[in-house]
Amino acid sequence: MKEFQTLKADLTKTRIIVNDVEEGSLDQGEIIVRIEKFAFTSNNVTYGVAGDAIGYWNFFPPSEDQKNEWGCLPMWGFAEITVSGNDELKVGERIFGYFPPAKVLTLTPIKISNQSFFDGKDHRKELPAVYNNYLRLSGEEGYDKSMDNIRALLFPLHITAFCLCDSLEEDSYLGASQVIIISASSKTGIGLAQGLAEKGRTPKIVGLTSKSNVDFVLSLGCYEEVISYDNLDKIDKSLGSVMVDMAGNQTILEALHNSLGPNMLKCLTVGMTHWNRGVTVNDALAQAALQSRTEFFFAPSHIQKRISDWGQGQYNEKTSVFMDRRAIESQSWMQIKEISGLEKFLDTYNEVVRGNINPNEGIIVLP
């Protein structure tokens, strides 16, 4: 098989490893899946930046890595079972979930139901359960294959957007008069803004973005005000503000902290799309620990909280409504770009990792 690996110490360095998966070496209950497609967004860059701190590198141990230098960035996508040593899962069945950027993966299914199963491999047991869950498309009511690309692109991002909306609403927006979304053109930022806009009676929704993306962000219609990074002085500093940061750009964060002063009520750090512009994950997490009013927002923790609060059924219902609405809205602005082969993926990977992201483009890789 082929496996796309990233140097953990420098996300700009990659390699493709070719090796064999021995079909006859399956343990009892295991399956091999062929990865059909996966989405690649700035969210995957965050996985790499936070790989050691949060454990993202641990999901898919890389091949041929004696010095523990390389890693497989987790991706969301679809796969088909090609070999099964499990009586409950048949060859040809398709699943949706978390995969490495590779052609195949071996899984150890546990907790199998008609709708899903979990991977029970030992190295994944201590990792967040939401990432170990695989959905069985044969058991999904109303499954629409034509939405696969949008689902792979937006499911992980808009689950985070849902959690942010829900958390902010639960906290009554901390009494803020405006919510400032940094990296407003990011897909998570868009999902958050759309979710807030549909609620009504929310604080003013302000989007910050690069000058080149201002027109695109305005065209979405979910931001009440859009300000470019070189015009931060236009932010109303007299209003109590909650910031949601998708970018991790230290220069911008410090400028906002300083200008808003005590009116910066809370800063939720979510993503790190500008990881190479003056910030590392250790800096960001250290700030979250040292700076009052700053918090690193980890969506899986909020998901587990809400499943405990509401039960799995009500959680599924609420998130499905949110996701369906965002998916429908995305069709008016998102263009899908499909890339065939891991070798051809390399150029696009390099552009995204360096922050050169086309905001209305959705990247799908067919490994």
147 burial via Cβ count (<10 Å: 0-12, 13-18, 19+): middle
Which pTM does this prediction carry?
0.88
Q: Which helix (H) or strand (E) holds 64?
A: none
- C-alpha count within 13 angstroms, C-beta hemisphere, residue 311: 3
Local structure of 75: helix, strand or coil: strand
Q: How many helices (H) and strands (E) does the chain have?
A: 11, 18
Long-range contacts from 50-57, C-beta under 8 angstroms, 24+ separation: 50/272, 50/281, 51/8, 52/8, 52/281, 53/281, 53/282, 53/285, 54/298, 55/126, 55/127, 57/8
Spatial CA neighbour of 27 closest among 81, 98, 91, 106: 106
Please answer whether residues 32 and 119 qualify as being in contact, where contact means their C-beta atoms are separated by less than 8 angstroms. no
Percent of the chain with pLDDT over 70: 92
Helices (H), the chain: 42-49, 51-54, 129-132, 148-170, 187-199, 214-220, 250-260, 281-290, 299-310, 312-330, 342-353
pLDDT at 288 over 50: no
Residue type at 154?
Answer: L
Cα-Cα-Cα-Cα dihedral of 348, 353, 357, 361, to 10°? 50
Using pLDDT thresholds of 50, 70 and 90, give the confidence band for residue 272.
low
Q: What is the DSSP letter of 176?
A: -
What's the average model confidence in pLDDT over 178-192? 96
| Phi, then psi, of 68 in degrees rounded to 5 | 55, 45
What's the average model confidence in pLDDT over 268-280? 57
pLDDT at 276 over 80: no
pLDDT at res. 275: 41
User: Of 72-86, 166-180, 282-296, 342-356, where does mean pLDDT reach its minimum?
Assistant: 282-296
Residue type at 276?
Answer: N
Using pLDDT thresholds of 50, 70 and 90, give the confidence band for residue 176.
very high
Spatial CA neighbour of 43 closest among 75, 6, 15: 75
Cα diameter, the chain: 67
Residue 222 CA to residue 208 CA, distance in Å, equals: 13
Please answer whether residues 205 and 193 qualify as being in contact, where contact means their C-beta atoms are separated by less than 8 angstroms. yes
pLDDT at res. 183: 93
Helices (H), 171-296: 187-199, 214-220, 250-260, 281-290
pLDDT at res. 292: 61
Give the chain's mean pLDDT.
90
Concatenated DSSP letters of 129-170? HHHHEEEEGGG-TT--GGGHHHHHHHHHHHHHHHHHHHHHHH
Start-to-end CA distance of the chain, whole Å, equals: 10
Please answer whether residues 366 and 148 qualify as being in contact, where contact means their C-beta atoms are separated by less than 8 angstroms. no
Q: Which residue has the higher pLDDT, 21 or 200?
A: 200
pLDDT at res. 32: 95
Residue 74 CA to residue 105 CA, distance in Å, equals: 12
pLDDT at res. 290: 37
CA 178 to the chain's CA centroid: 24
Residue 28 CA to residue 42 CA, distance in Å, equals: 37
**Domains along the chain?**
2-143+333-366 (3.90.180.10), 157-300 (3.40.50.720)
